[in-house]
A and B are shown apart, each in its own frame.
Chain A
Amino acid sequence: MTYHLPEFRHPDLPTNELGYTKKQYEGAISTLCAGCGHDSISAGIIQACFELSIEPHKVAKISGIGCSSKTPTYFLGNSHGFNSVHGRMPSVATGANLANRELTYIGVSGDGDSASIGMGQFAHVVRRNLNMLYLVENNGCYGLTKGQDSATADVGSMSKKGAANPFQPVDLCTLAIDLGATFVARSFSGDKDQLVPLIKAAISHSGFAFIDVISPCVTFNNTAASTKSYEFVREHIEATGKTDFIPVRQEITADYDPGFTQEVTLHDGSVIHLYKNDEDLDVRNRLSALQAIHKYKDKGEILTGLLYLDPDCEDLHEIIGSVEKPLRDLDEKALCPGNQALGAINDSLR
């Protein structure tokens, strides 16, 4: 009996610009239930960070409580991590980011952690446009406490217990768009072809990037009458289009109808190409995004892919004009400018 990940990897594994293989981005072996969608998302994050050639020690993973919030243990084992208090991941992420803006922040949360206990924190971190990837692993139930319906469960959806959920769901994507998020996407753990480019784009986005990933709970919420089961999602999924993430500007060779192509250049010069399925959608326009989400929802379908993006936004540091250097790099003189500086501030307020 064993439950160890063998040390060996495929001898022909590709390496990235840093000379690393995917192995350098892995974490401990997962202790989640077999078949949990969260594990696929972890694999997606590993793949995205590998492809972006991010130095693992320049990433901080922050999470709250729940099955989803356990997952940072299972990816990026060479990165910084903070498994915080239930629903309080945004505060810890905000603090960390203000202290050192040079790291890549990946916040992992769940539907309970974000749409219930952490709703208040979620709303405010969106408003402030903190530069981070905020990823919700959304399974519509509380898997860690035997699968009670969560705040994102759809009306009528039935988990393993067999009782239909009577309450209206929270749609974290529309909420985020309304609250001023500057990157909003939805995806599905069972579709890495879509998820990985979205994670890469979200990490490259300078500002608050939110991805709501539907992630079936195989143990409690993968039933025939659940709207968050593998089968239901696969049958009802619609994509805004195919997203290509291109790190450096390069010529696009794919042959798509121009009316259906939207190209967005991010702050760092990377480019997102969206090959849209719907001509009406404009991912630069909040109203268009909200309309699209509701339009598909009314049809009983789940709209996934990139929904909204504002690449020219100011993030929290720019808004409040905070110091550019990480606090740990500031010397004593900069951190404690002395009485004279305090006096000057006081005078300016008189």
Chain B
Amino acid sequence: MKPTDIKNPEYFHQVVDCQYACPAHTPVPEYIRLIAQQRYTDAYMINWESNVFPGVLGRTCDRPCEPACRRGRVEEEPVAICRLKRVAADFKDDITSRLPDIPKEKNGRKIALVGAGPASLTVARDLAPLGYELDVYDEQPIAGGFMRSQIPSFRLPATVLDEEVGYILDMGLTTHFNHYVDSLKGLLDQDYDAIFVGSGAPRGRDLPDLPGRQEGDASIHIGIDWLSNVAFEHIEKIGKRVIVLGGGNTAMDCCRTARRVGGNDVKVIVRSPFDSMKASTWEKEDAVHEGIPIVDNHVPLEFVVEDGKLVGMRFEKVSAVFDEKGKRSLIPTGEEPVLFPCDEVLVAIGQENSFPWIEKDIGIEFDNWGMPVLNAKTFQSSCAKVFFGGDSAFGPENIITAVAHGHQAAVSIDLFCDGKQVNQRLPPGTNLLSTKMGIHEWSYDNDVTTDVRKIVPLVELTSALQNRTMEVELGFDVQTAFDEAERCLNCDVQTVFTDDKCIECDACVDICPMDCINFIENNDEPELRQSLRVKAVNADQDLYVSGNLETGRVMVKDEDVCLHCGLCAERCPTAAWDMQQFFYQVTKAAPLCIK
């Protein structure tokens, strides 16, 4: 193999599994260290700079970082990254003095933002400090988008959302609430320099052709619309017996909300097996904890309506069968269809995009699936001044993805307004700094604890179910947060190897608790992976290969389960190994958002 190019920022970036997995590439280990040092405000600002809504995401994020966490490969459970983020939000001081200054004198550019959800608000946050004039349009009376309409307040209290949305609205945005944009052409005809579309994926899927759908309509609701109606208090009650169809996170939110607004016999019924449901594991656990059975392997056959009233639903039992290619099909078991009686049904089987307000003849190209044709890097549509982001760009995802889109779209809009090429973007900001302070002393806490993952305490179940707005999770206290933060392996503190200092004494090989380090004959990657002390079977993790050493061998380090404990560097007599903190920051439109 060729020597690893550690000057390429993406190499060390990939070693920081959590940060790499995060769509917004939040510097996770850095803020976890700050939490351990009780520097909650600093930890919050690192987050705020990167993901804009730390308090919201600390409660509701889909957490792609956690399955990626190296700790999960070393022991069983990853670090509770998401809930540590909430700790930063819960314990921070007033941050208003650290927010960016908004120039009183504007730069003369005016941007329209369609939708006031996470994507649009991120674009606004990134562009406002540069002096952009920003007009936000939303059909709801208040900002927040699906963070407000679809995430129940027992998971995300309105105060938390209001605070973080408020930081952005206070940047001098012009808001047009209760204003449904019904024509993009109308916006294009105004004097906007660019338009950002962050209108989400507003249409919930239905089962229009299922027998009984029309007749039972009064008692059948689309999940996301129903959640939105509950959130805006248009709906306050539901029948006692409720069936929720679907296996995603919306289904989980529906069933738990139903449980709090009158449903006392609520069940989730899903086509697929429990293990392959789309909902996050922890959201399924939360639902089960609240006494909601999840009935899997049941495919809806019909809505049963008697005397014009919905009385139940009939399902066919199936089992999942996999063919040689691993493709799944649900095969009926041949058993009698099952009837589940119910008063109301919530259909939470997915959502899709819908752009009835975008005229077909204004130069915005759509693909066969009705999605706008976009450049995946710049988020620019086929109409140069129109950019998309969030769920409206590539279909339903999640908040953190919407934020990541927003940052990139803001960069594009800024370049576009400057008359520059939108695809010529600045590389990410990086830094690599030695943490060495003494022979056994580093500026990070390199001791590896054996603590298992801490559980977030919950409010008592009975009172939780009585109040739709009572937050269920209590969050970590200071001590638990510290203990959990200490579980972080500091993967951003990189093992940096300098070829010409190495005397090949093997001290690093001998001390490495994880057998990551090898001095062997060079070879092609597949052979090299097989010939290490412990075979490097995880192909997602890179091998760090040095140049040729004195003996003609090379140093090969398997990054997979490195604990970043620093012992290789402590035992190195020539400082050929050093522990260097790597900082990686996605380039934003405004170069420095935080003071």
B510 and A40 within 8 A (CB):
yes
Residues of B within 8 A of A40 (CB): 505-507, 509-510
Residues of A within 8 A of B516 (CB): 10
Smallest Cβ distance from B544 to chain A, in angstroms?
16
Beta-carbon contacts under 8 Å, A200-251 to B: 216, 218, 222, 230-231, 234
Determine the distance from Cα of A34 to Cα of B563 in the docked complex, in whole angstroms.
19
A9 and B447 within 8 A (CB):
no
B167 within 8 A of A: no
Residues of A within 8 A of B550 (CB): 231, 234
Chain A residue with Cβ nearest B565: A6
**Contact among B446, B504, B505, B506 for A2, CB-based, below 8 A:** B446
Q: Which of B264-272, B355-363, B566-574 contacts A (4 or more CB under 8 A)?
A: B566-574
A4 and B447 within 8 A (CB):
yes
Question: Size band of the B side of the interface?
Answer: 35 or more
Beta-carbon contacts under 8 Å, B212-235 to A: none
A39 within 8 A of B: yes
A36 and B507 within 8 A (CB):
yes
Task: Tell me what chain A mostly uses at the interface: helix, strand, loop, or mixed.
Answer: loop
Smallest Cβ distance from A343 to chain B, in angstroms?
59
Given contacts A5-B567, A34-B570, A39-B571, whether A12 and B535 have CB atoms under 8 Å apart is yes
Smallest Cβ distance from A317 to chain B, in angstroms?
35
A230 and B503 within 8 A (CB):
yes
Given contacts A2-B446, A34-B572, whether A8 and B505 have CB atoms under 8 Å apart is no
Chain A residue with Cβ nearest B75: A8
Residues of A within 8 A of B563 (CB): 6, 8
**Contact among A10, A13, A230 for B505, CB-based, below 8 A:** A230
Smallest Cβ distance from A139 to chain B, in angstroms?
12
Q: Which of B118-126, B424-432, B435-443 contacts A (4 or more CB under 8 A)?
A: B435-443
Q: How many A-B residue pairs lie within 8 Å, measured between CB atoms?
A: 103
Q: Count residues on chain A whose CB falls below 8 Å from chain B CBs.
A: 34
Chain B residue with Cβ nearest A3: B440
Chain A residue with Cβ nearest B520: A193
B510 and A3 within 8 A (CB):
no
Given contacts A1-B438, A35-B574, whether A190 and B505 have CB atoms under 8 Å apart is yes
Residues of A within 8 A of B505 (CB): 35-37, 40, 189-190, 216, 218, 230
A8 and B74 within 8 A (CB):
yes
B537 within 8 A of A: yes
Given contacts A2-B447, A35-B507, whether A13 and B534 have CB atoms under 8 Å apart is yes
B95 within 8 A of A: no
Interface set of A (CB-CB < 8 Å, partner B) = 1-14, 29-30, 33-37, 39-40, 42-43, 189-190, 192, 216, 218, 222, 230-231, 234
Return 18 A-B CB contacts under 8 Å, by A number: A3-B440, A5-B513, A6-B565, A8-B74, A8-B75, A8-B563, A9-B513, A11-B73, A11-B561, A12-B537, A13-B534, A34-B573, A35-B505, A36-B507, A39-B510, A189-B506, A190-B506, A234-B550
10 closest A-B pairs by beta carbon, nearest first, are A35-B573, A6-B448, A2-B447, A43-B510, A1-B441, A35-B505, A218-B573, A3-B440, A40-B506, A34-B573
Given A1-B438, A34-B573, A43-B510, 13 extra CB contacts under 8 A: A2-B446, A2-B447, A6-B563, A8-B448, A8-B450, A9-B513, A12-B537, A13-B534, A35-B503, A35-B505, A190-B504, A222-B573, A234-B504
